[in-house]
Amino acid sequence: MYHGGTSFGFMNGAIGDWGKRFAPMVTSYDYDAPIGEYGQLRPLYFAIQKVIQKYFSNVPSIDYNNDAYNNIPDKFWIGQQQQQQQDKQFDNIKQQYNRWQNSEKSEKQKIINIQVDFLTDIFQLMGKNNSGSIQSIESVWPLTFEQLGLRHASD
């Protein structure tokens, strides 16, 4: 995979049930994708470019001052106050997780509690609209849905 992307629902980390045991699974984004999720060119991108330029003479040279690296769209930046609120929320998740880790609950109960509370915190971060109901997630964070199983026309 040449560019990074996020995993849906932040639930990456394990796949399948292999003999009642989950197998670890991470996306290539979790490693070191040459192009970041927001289009930022990473060191691996430039290493790949050097190899390509060694064999092809017409490849343009690109440096870290390139627009794709520096101009991350404003929608990915949030205000300092909102960031502080989010930091507090995620600190709370960490504290709750530590309490559950030391509790008498079964492993399955701990996992369910962590996932439910994580989603609850996401909804709290979204806030409420003027009528007191939770805002739609699209009003806070734009969503993009991708179809599964798409193939290139030449396949």
Question: Average pLDDT for consecutive 10-residue bins of the chain (155 residues)?
Answer: 52 58 56 69 83 81 54 50 64 64 57 57 57 59 57 48
Residue type for 127, please? G
pLDDT confidence of residue 155: 43
Helical packing angle, 107-126 and 80-101, nearest 10°:
170
Question: 119 by DSSP, 3-state: which?
Answer: helix
Q: What is the pTM of this model?
A: 0.31
Per-residue pLDDT, 55: 86
Residue 113's pLDDT is what? 56
**Closest by alpha carbon to 77, among 32, 40, 46?**
40
State the pLDDT at residue 75.
Answer: 45
121-127-133 Cα angle (round to 5): 110
**pLDDT for the residue 126:** 55
